Amino acid sequence: MLQPYLNHRARGRRPHADPSRFRTAALGALIALTAIGAAGCGGDDGGSRQAGGTSKVAFKSCDRTFELDRAPQRVVITNDAIADTLFALGVGERIVAKTRGESAPSPELKERLASLPNLGTRSPSTEALIAAKPELLITDQVEKVSGDNGSPSVEELKRLGVATYVAGGCSADLSVDSPGLDSLFADLKQLGTVFGVQEPAQALADKLRARLDDVSRRTSQQTKPGVVEVSQVAGQLYVTSGGYGTDVIERAGGTNLFADLPGQYAPISPEQIIARNPQAIIAVDYTASPAGQRELIEFLTQKFPTTDAVKNRRLLAIDAAKTGARGSTRPVDGVVEIARFLHPTAFRSQ
Average pLDDT of the segment spanning 303-309: 97
pLDDT at 6 over 60: no
pLDDT digits (tens, 9 = 90+) for 22-32: 333 333 333 33
Closest CA to 189 of 208, 175, 204: 204
- Which residue type is seen at 143? E
- Looking at the predicted structure, is the pLDDT value of residue 103 above 90? no
Q: What's the pLDDT tens digit per position in 322-341? A: 998 999 999 999 999 999 99
Sorted by where each begins, the domain ranges of the chain are: 19-195, 222-347
What residues are paired with 239 via a beta bridge? 230, 266
Q: For position 61, what pLDDT does the model report?
A: 59
Q: How far does CA 167 lie from the centroid of its chain?
A: 8
Positions of E strands within 78-146: 95-98, 136-139
For residue 80, is pLDDT > 70?
A: yes
Mean pLDDT of 257-271: 94
* pLDDT(38) > 50: no
Q: Which residues of 178-209 are buried (b: 16+ CB within 10 A; e: fewer)?
A: bbbbebbbbbbbbbbbbbbbbebbeebbeebe
Residue 258 clears pLDDT 90, i.e. is over it? yes
Cβ atoms of 332 and 341 within 8 Å: the answer is no
Sequence letter at residue 183: S
What is the per-residue pLDDT across 121-139, written as a single tens digit (0 to 9) for each? 777 888 888 899 999 999 9
> CA-to-CA distance for 143 and 16, rounded, in angstroms?
13
For residue 23, the model assigns a pLDDT of: 32
3-state secondary structure of 40: strand
Percent of the chain with pLDDT over 90: 58
Taking the domain 222-347, which CATH number applies?
A: 3.40.50.1980
Rounded to 10°, the helix 243-251/330-342 angle is 50
- Decide which of 84 and 61 is more confident: 84
Return mean pLDDT, the chain: 83
Do 301 and 57 form a contact (C-beta atoms < 8 A)? no
Give residue-wise pLDDT tens across range 155-169: 888 888 889 899 987
pLDDT value of position 160: 87
Give the per-residue pLDDT at 169.
74
Residue 224: what pLDDT? 98
Domain at 19-195: CATH code? 3.40.50.1980
Per-residue pLDDT averaged across 3-11, rounded? 38
Contact criterion met (CB below 8 Å) for 224 and 251: no
Segments in 10-50 forming alpha helices (H): 19-22
Arithmetic mean of pLDDT, 42-59 = 55
**pLDDT score recorded for residue 189:** 94
Domains 19-195 and 222-347 share a fold: yes
